[in-house]
């Protein structure tokens, strides 16, 4: 039974399109995150949500918007996709905010053509 799941696993799309990546966790955790792993392999935090409230919003373009319909889901919406958005996006969750260990999903490889 997958703890943190993401769909789709692969996403290929054209520049200018709008796309979404879904994330679900069945661990009962309070906090969920989105990370981006770029071509240089750095994993960088994008957002986190705690009890439906945005806690961290790093310097990401406002074309990226996280949406959390409930505590178990944190979806990532991306508008007007650009070539530089191509990366692997990871969803993660932790029991509480600043709880240390975070559990990651399998990642979504986004390719923008």
Partner 1 sequence: DQQVKQNSPSLSVQEGRISILNCDYTNSMFDYFLWYKKYPAEGPTFLISISSIKDKNEDGRFTVFLNKSAKHLSLHIVPSQPGDSAVYFCAATRLYGGSQGNLIFGKGTKLSVKP
Closer to partner 1 by Cβ: residue 14 or 101: 101
Using CB under 8 A as the binding rule, whether residue 48 contacts partner 1 is answered as: yes
Phi and psi at residue 53, to the nearest 5°: -115, 130
Q: Which of 56, 60, 72, 73 binds partner 1 (CB under 8 A)?
A: 56
Contact 10, 109 (CB under 8 A): yes
Closer to partner 1 by Cβ: residue 31 or 68: 31
For residue 27, give Cα distances in angstroms to 56, 92, 108: 21, 11, 20
Angle at 89 between CA 77 and CA 53, to 5 degrees: 55
Question: What are the structure tokens assigned to 64, written together?
Answer: 């990226």
Using CB under 8 A as the binding rule, whether residue 40 contacts partner 1 is answered as: yes
**What mask, x for binding partner 1 by CB under 8 A, covers residues 77 to 106?**
-------------x-x-x--xxxxxxxxxx
Residues at the site binding partner 1, with contacts judged by CB under 8 A: 4, 31, 33, 40-45, 48, 55-56, 90, 92, 94, 97-107
């Amino acid at each position: 039974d997958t703890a943190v799941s993401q769909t789709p696993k692969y996403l290929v799309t054209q520049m200018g399109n709008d796309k979404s990546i879904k994330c679900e966790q069945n661990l009962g955790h309070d906090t969920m995150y989105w990370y981006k792993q770029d071509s240089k392999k750095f994993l960088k935090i994008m957002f986190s949500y705690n009890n439906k409230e945005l806690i961290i919003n790093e310097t990401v373009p406002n074309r990226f918007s996280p949406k959390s319909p409930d505590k178990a889901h944190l979806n990532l919406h991306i508008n007007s996709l650009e070539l530089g958005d191509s990366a692997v996006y990871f969803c993660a969750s932790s029991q509480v905010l600043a709880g240390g260990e975070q559990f990651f999903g399998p990642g979504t490889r986004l390719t923008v053509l």
